[in-house]
């Protein structure tokens, strides 16, 4: 799964109604961020299909692992070098 993106409009001084365009973009961003539950991508820690991607490519991103180490919980975060379990900051991968 790729990181979600948001299209940001380009505003120039010559554009008519730029206030409305900015307000529309802000409303879209608010809905994207807080308007609904955010689905975290599901991966595995074990090698093979569905394995967590490189942590360096997803710094500060969250994911869920289906094969978490016992007692660690399923949520991991990338610190830019490793994927770490949110529960105790131990290295997942």
Please write the tens of the pLDDT for every residue from 18-40: 566 677 777 777 776 666 677 88
Q: Is residue 73 one of the residues assigned to a domain?
A: yes
Exposure on the CB side of residue 11, measured as CA atoms within 13 A = 11
Whole-structure pTM value? 0.60
pLDDT at residue 6 greater than cutoff 80: no
* Containing structural domain, residue 61: 42-85
Q: Same structural domain for residues 46 and 24?
A: no
pLDDT at residue 54 greater than cutoff 90: yes
- Name the residue with higher pLDDT: 14 or 89: 89
- Burial code (b: 16+ CB inside 10 Å, e: under 16) for 57-71 equals ebeebebebeebeee
For the chain, the average pLDDT equals: 79
Q: How confident is the model at residue 77 (pLDDT cuts 50, 70, 90)?
A: very high
Q: Same structural domain for residues 47 and 75?
A: yes
Exposure on the CB side of residue 8, measured as CA atoms within 13 A = 4
DSSP symbol at 56 = G
């Amino acid at each position: 799964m790729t990181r979600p993106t948001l299209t940001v409009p380009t505003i120039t001084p010559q554009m008519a109604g730029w206030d409305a365009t900015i307000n529309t973009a802000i409303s879209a961003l608010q809905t994207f961020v807080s308007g609904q539950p955010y689905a975290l991508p599901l991966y595995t820690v074990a090698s093979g299909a569905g394995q967590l991607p490189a942590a360096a490519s997803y710094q500060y991103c969250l994911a869920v692992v289906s094969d978490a180490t016992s007692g660690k919980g399923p949520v991991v975060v990338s610190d830019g070098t490793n994927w770490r379990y949110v529960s105790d900051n131990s290295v997942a991968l």
